[in-house]
Chains A and B, each alone.
Chain A
Amino acid sequence: MQIRPILAALRRHRLATMLVALEIALACAVLCNACFLIANRVALLHVVSGVDETALATVQLTGYEDSHAVDLNARVLAGLRSIPGMQSVSVLNSIPFGARRGTAGITLDMAGQHFGGVVEFYVGGPGSMQALGLHVTSGRAPQVDDFRTFEGLMPTDASVQITRSLAEHLWPGTDPLGKDFWLDKWHYRVVGVIDHLVRPDPSNWQGDSKDWSIFVPALPGKYLAGSYLLRADPKDISRVLRDARTTIAKIAPDAVFDEEGSKTLSDLRTDSFRQDRAMVGMLVGVIIALLLVTALGIVGLVSFWVAQRRKQIGIRRAIGATRADILNYFQTENFLIVTFGIVLGMLLAFALNLLLMKHYELPRLPLYYLPIGALILWGLGQLAVLGPALRAAAVPPVVATRSV
């Protein structure tokens, strides 16, 4: 296939060529960035929580008198445990994908000079760690005497488990076991490392910190009440939660059952990411519309070119060009224009990415998006040109002999 005559022909149609290339370039820039946005959202939807979501549910109670909290805990724990199919009931202040009650900034020294980051404290009663299904990868799980009573937000001195990513963040490359950290004057010592434990309340996640959680063992009491973690077989969990609701109405009429907060963890997770799913849907819609419009544009312009060149095509056919030659001509022409558009589009894609990075919390566009975008657009171009090119190939040589 000779490229020179094609280039020569394109030079005579500079304006139209530029327009198609520009359209491809814009499509390339939007396509790459939209795909990148989708990938980011999808990664968020599939975040590893580290807990056995399908087997868990939570019951949130409010509105009771503080002085009744201890009594309420006892009643609720006993009452819920009697529900058939219930594997365990424990007290946990914050719930993954649910209520957030222990966000605080920690320091790595007692004087509070070396700031460690804003982390999440899960304050849990006996059994809550097993119920969550957390894996302790090094060190140890909490023991019976680690669980202590406390006043206020949480125990002021405790042996805790932290996630691996938090350990990596606080003490990169070193063994976190036995390390200390402080929350103002309160002191904590790391005795175990857990694989993953996602922070509650995804709307507040920022960057890499979504797995920065700490498990603090504590005994239920006045300050740890009203937030319960239920574990049952995944098949039973919805039914167990329904039963829990009716049980609560009987055993704790003094408390308000928080309908919004009391759900299975799977439901909480679904609710948390609704917005992101809607955004993914919208982005996919835009991409489809974009590709459609681009393809239709190419079809329209190439059809025009074919109509304009009918006579030339006829002459080429008359002096010996095969149908395949004509088809090839238009395909190669399209490939050249799209390639030109893609080169321009890659620059535009990066410019757009820089703009997005400046205004929204978005990482840099990975390089491998560009060849993927290029492949899609080459494919699209070839597909769009096929119809008009076939029509061009069907032009009979006899056209050359007619005057119009």
Chain B
Amino acid sequence: MFIYYLDLALRSLRRNKALTALMVLAIALGIGASMTTLTVLHVLSGDPLPGKSAQLYYPQVDPQDIKGMSPSKEPPDQVTLIDGLNLLHAVRADHQALMAGGSVPLQPEQSSLDPFYVDARYTTADFFVMFDAPFLYGRGWTEADGDAKARQVVIAKALNDKLFAGENSVGRTLRMAGTSFRIVGVLDSWQPNPHFYDLNTGSYAYSEQVFVPLQTMLDLHLSRSGSNDCWGNGGGGTDNILPSDECVWLQFWVQLDSPAKAVAYKEFLTHYSQDQKTLGRFQRAPNVRLRNVMQWLDYQMVVPDDVRLQNGLAFGFLLVCLVNTVGLMLAKFMRRAAELGVRRALGASRRALFAQLLIESGVVGLVGGCGGLLLAMFGLWLVRQRPSDYAALAHLDLSMLFITFVLAVCATLLAGLLPAWRACQIAPALQLKSN
């Protein structure tokens, strides 16, 4: 029966090519536009570390004075150096790392290259293990190296390619900010999107080229960048002067392997805040948060406003296209009133007619979905030509491909419901008589 109805649908669609083409075009345009923006949204709100992100948490404590910098009830988005080091040395989590961003001037040995700036991440030893950063050569520095302010550096693959033509550069020397560093590791290509562990650097398509122990950075006063919020008499600290103790400017991440540990860690944060208040450092009542990666990204509203706006707009457009399709389908089905009347008179039930008409709309949806897919691919190509930092990430993946067809068919079936129902209300006798 299904095959027969499919055959009927195809015949009927072929009979009135203009109307069919209009419907397919409307569906294709609507699906194309909404799938383009939905794919961008899907890519941008993706998980930066699949499989691992649920175990990574971002502790927040509230060290502000009573007046405070922000009136909101949320604790600051970063930690002070004191709190960061305290939490780091407490070693209450499975892994923990304290970090900040910056940039350092690099003086290549090769005279053919001018000095240039590279983006740097100043962090502690657990960073690489915790974030599953893959090593091409060598390994990260140890905790002892970090504490000893070792002049050691891990570099990214891109920089290794640029300076050492991709050879194993472990053990070689890198001159940065007038100091010689020994390369201990080379990372393989690694770029979590969004750049979840520090969103101040730009959220997408950003990756550091050198990783330096935080203690070494503090020792050498390497220049930092990123966000820096102060309260009370806290001084900003420009460029390579460190911010004062009343400023938050570091990110602290922990790995907690089980939910029970997360609960325990949150309790620890509350106790820590209480202790600090007793000591007189904190003035506010304990106010802590412990969000995992996806919760943190959600809280920071990392997806650009423009992208969400475009998505809303595209779905508005899809809605217009669907209403349009409903109208056209109504016209199409009503035009066949005579034929449907004959089928009813010959004994077809309303249900059978309804099924036949829905199959016809499903076919329209499928063809429209194909057109929409092509349009979405073209749309994504357009997005990739755009200057935004996330442009290069806009690619259709398998799940989105599947969703395109599901959306197209479901939307068209939905659009077909009303006209099909209306067409089934036709009294067969009336149609037969008028002919």
Contact = CB atoms under 8 A, between A and B. Distances in A.
B29 A293 contact: yes
Interface string B93-121: 00000000000010000000011110000
A259 B32 CA distance: 39
A23 B323 contact: yes
Main secondary structure of the interface of B (DSSP, over half): helix
Contacts of B306: 275, 279
A300 B19 contact: yes
Contacts of B323: 19, 22-23, 26, 297
A23 B320 CA distance: 6
B238 interface: yes
A168 B29 CA distance: 48
B424 to A, nearest CB: 13
A13 B330 CA distance: 11
A294 B319 CA distance: 11
Interface in A279-295: 279, 282-283, 286, 289-290, 292-294
Contact of A282 (B18, B30, B310): B310
B320 A301 contact: no
Given A274-B387, A279-B306, A297-B328, A404 B313 contact: no
A289 B435 CA distance: 40
Contacts of A62: 105, 117
A47 interface: no
A398 interface: no
A294 B310 contact: no
Nearest to A279: B306
Interface string B289-323: 00000000000000001101110011011011101
Contact of A153 (B29, B115, B238, B314): B238
A153 B327 CA distance: 65
Interface residues of A, number: 48
Nearest to A299: B22
Interface of B: 18-19, 22, 25-26, 29-30, 33, 105, 114-117, 178, 236, 238, 305-306, 308-310, 313-314, 316-317, 319-321, 323-324, 326-328, 330-332, 334-335, 386-388, 418, 422, 435
Given A16-B330, A27-B320, A30-B320, 19 more contacts: A23-B323, A26-B316, A30-B317, A62-B117, A63-B115, A256-B105, A258-B117, A275-B386, A279-B310, A286-B313, A286-B317, A292-B29, A293-B29, A294-B320, A294-B324, A303-B19, A304-B19, A308-B334, A356-B309
Interface of A: 15-16, 19-20, 22-23, 26-27, 29-30, 34, 37, 62-63, 65, 152-153, 249, 256-258, 274-275, 278-279, 282-283, 286, 289-290, 292-294, 296-297, 299-301, 303-305, 307-308, 352, 356, 359-360, 404
